[in-house]
Structure 1
């Protein structure tokens, strides 16, 4: 089970004023879209279990299957995401798939697990539609 902080639903990638990718607080709908995309991309089973009322803002309760494993290497994450048509922006923790028009942010190896069979599981990454603006920001970050 995972319970969001009151009124906080994770983060959402956006271009920063300097033209590189940054993160802003996600809306509840963006958070739900993220879970849906994770389920589709990674054959995951994120579920919304409910919403808790809190004076500081609603809290979403979600669940995800338990995975027993260890942190994969960056290379193992890259191989896994490459098989899904994503390429890492060199030196960054985000990936782009032009063929799918999607991006995956927060893709550091701490957000993946390698199960006992060697299979890689995405645990808490941020998949989003790859807009033209976001792609330009990712390309700008490549040059830094």
Structure 2
């Protein structure tokens, strides 16, 4: 288990995201991400015939990371759980809530991700854009659903475009239908202008 003091001793890269504090660990060239105390990111959810998102439980956050590894061959690692004296982002929760700590390879940025490049990557992986969602995509073949697929969650590198922090889940056919999505891979693709 990683200690909060170990994470806090690393160079802080960002503390302005809604899900994580991001640190750099030079010893192994990894980005270390700690969820805000008492918050475990977000995941896609079906809501009134649309694709939406909601706060995740710790187990759902870990499933999300496992799905990211499976779909995009990411090297995300669970580093551990820390408890901090920092206040929770949930109003009314006392300080001392747990945070999950993950790490992934640090990528040198070689350009900006664009909506067009994200479109090309995701459609190449069999995903379809979801209109009227928060940067949503889904793949009818296996029910993988993504939200928050916007440029700041991708890095353009010499290896190509790398997804680094997508909110993901795997829906069954009932969940897809509840989100207004077809589980039929032969259904027409809706064109969304870029």
**Where does 1:1-144 land on structure 2 (aligned, <5 Å)?**
1-16=32-47, 18-54=48-84, 55-69=95-109, 70-90=111-131, 92=133, 93-117=135-159, 119-131=160-172, 132-139=174-181
TM-superposed deviation, 1:47: 0.7
TM-superposed deviation, 1:102: 0.9
Point out the structure with the larger helix share.
1
Greater Rg over alpha carbons, structure: 2
TM-superposed deviation, 1:14: 1.7
State the TM-score, normalized to the length of structure 2. Answer: 0.65
| Residue segments in structure 2 that go unaligned for 5+ positions in a row | 1-31, 85-94, 182-191
TM-superposed deviation, 1:126: 1.2
Q: CA RMSD in A?
A: 2.1
TM-superposed deviation, 1:34: 0.7
Per-residue CA deviations over 1:59-109 (Å, capped at 9, x if unaligned) read: 111111011123311111111111211111246411110112211111112
| Residue segments in structure 1 that go unaligned for 5+ positions in a row | none
Q: Is the 8 A contact 1:14 1:134 kept in 2?
A: no
Q: Which is bigger in relative contact order (C-alpha 8 A, separation at least 6)?
A: 1
CA spacing shift, 1:138–1:45, aligned 2, 3 Å: farther
